[in-house]
Amino acid sequence: MSRSKIQNLQSPKGMHDILPQEQMWWDKVRKEVDYIADYYNFSRIDTAILERAEIFEKSLGETTDIVEKQMFVFKSRSGDRLALRPEGTASIVRSYVQHGLSHLGQPLKLFYIGPMFRKEQPQSGRFRQFHQAGFEIIGGDDDPVYDAQLILAIYRLLERFKIKNLSLHINSIGCRNCRPVYRKKLLDYYRDLAPKLCKDCRRRMKQNPLRLLDCKNEQCQQYKASTPMILDSLCSNCNKHFKGVLEFLEELKLSYQLDHHLVRGLDYYNRTAFEFFTDSVAEDGTKFDFALAGGGRYDYLLELFGSRQSSGVGGAVGMERVIEVMRKTKINLGLRSRQKVFFIHIGDVAKKKSLSLIEELRDAGIPVLESLGKDSLAAQLRSANKENADYALIFGQKEAFEDSIIVRDLKNGVQETVPLRKVVNEVKKRFK
């Protein structure tokens, strides 16, 4: 049967493969996330990548960009409306309530690493499939110490990536009592300006006025500069909470910038909202004009899912973005490349014994490279060269009969025949 070949080999728009040669960056990020999680006692949780769409629609809010424009939603064959998760928090709270995790010691500190999906216009640092490492402190009460602990964990993580010139932007977006007061002030301010605003902002005025502060459109910037400040409208409880968070940060000597325009756009947030940026500049002079991490408090989310607990705070780091900064600012991963040994066989008798011999070497702690499927010496040497091997172990007809092997230093060509029973020691002796 003849089949037509697949012509289009492109991965879907905004979705990328992570190739073997890029994995060292990802390993580094995962390793540091594990380190910080362990250090601050966060337990790992993995939730499904698909959720019922309603989980996000009801919690993030119907009028948010993510739900309105960016979520990948589809109907399964059995008719369920499913969504590829656009973020981690809603799924984690769903899981927390579903599995009764509120019965465990509170607050529960959880972390996750995994892919998220948003149908955005791809550009630098913005993809349709991207990865987040996120941290959540759920349950307990709404003590500002948890907000500070969460921010601290993310700050320390970014520090471990050796990203310099970090800046923490922070704001409070109040609660159900004080936010409507601010919303009204904001709308009063914008009312006469409406005709001059971009289309999105005119829509935001009707649906989600706080998002006016989020607008990146050039024509709206001049009006944003003198908007009323939400901090002036906070009720006394929110004010006290925010002061508490800032005091903890000051005690930690963690500097911050109050950012009156930081609202983080999702319905489930209340009080603290924060984002981390870097002022580092890439080697080619470009600046990174995106947030590396962001998060906030989400007390109403727990209530929405019917939890007995009523407080939560969390944040997520964008893995592609931190990797981009690390690569473009030439951060040294400090990896020591380990020395490589390449096994070469010559002739059928030697080949027959090779697989088990290599197994013995590996069992003895020598990670051996090989290309056993190739029989010609020249081809095997070429493979050793491609792998940039330091030593070759050459096992030929004569050696197979004599139970010996040649250890050849590929950098200087010096070689020595050694008995097989001594080869492990001989190789280890040569490793620096």
Say how far apart CA 131 and CA 28 lie, in whole Å: 14
Two tokens, residue 101: 């995790």
**Which candidate, 229, 230, 223, places its Cα nearest to that of 190?**
223
Binding-site size, ligand AMP (CB under 6 A):
16
Residue 135 CB, nearest distance to ligand AMP (Å)?
11
Helices (H) and strands (E) in the chain, counts: 15, 16
Residue 143 CB, nearest distance to ligand AMP (Å)?
23
Which one-letter amino acid corresponds to residue 331?
Answer: I
The correct pick among 53, 215, 301, 316 for binding ligand AMP (CB under 6 A) is 316
The correct pick among 84, 318, 396, 407 for binding ligand AMP (CB under 6 A) is 318
Binding of ligand AMP at residue 61 (CB under 6 A)?
Answer: no
Applying the rule CB under 6 A, the residues between 69 and 98 that interact with ligand AMP are 87
The correct pick among 60, 201, 213, 291 for binding ligand AMP (CB under 6 A) is 291
Q: Per CB under 6 A, which region of 94-102, 178-186, 315-323, 383-391 contacts ligand AMP?
A: 315-323
Binding of ligand AMP at residue 127 (CB under 6 A)?
Answer: yes
> Closer to ligand AMP at the Cβ: 114 or 347?
114
Residue 200 burial (CB < 10 Å; 0-12/13-18/19+)? middle
Binding of ligand AMP at residue 120 (CB under 6 A)?
Answer: yes
**Given 3-state DSSP classes, what are the helix, strand and coil percentages for the chain, each rounded to the nearest 5?**
40, 20, 35
Binding of ligand AMP at residue 118 (CB under 6 A)?
Answer: yes
Which one-letter amino acid corresponds to residue 124?
Answer: S
CA distances from 411 to 305, 327, 342, 370 (A): 64, 30, 13, 18
Residues counted in the chain: 432
> Closer to ligand AMP at the Cβ: 124 or 217?
124
Binding of ligand AMP at residue 294 (CB under 6 A)?
Answer: yes
Q: What does DSSP assign to residue 67?
A: I
The correct pick among 58, 126, 224, 260 for binding ligand AMP (CB under 6 A) is 126
> Closer to ligand AMP at the Cβ: 101 or 291?
291
Two tokens, residue 227: 């908007």
Per DSSP bridges, beta strands 257-258 and 166-172 are parallel
Binding of ligand AMP at residue 125 (CB under 6 A)?
Answer: yes
Q: Give the interface with ligand AMP as residue ranges (CB under 6 A).
A: 87, 118, 120, 125-127, 130, 132, 291-294, 316, 318, 320-321
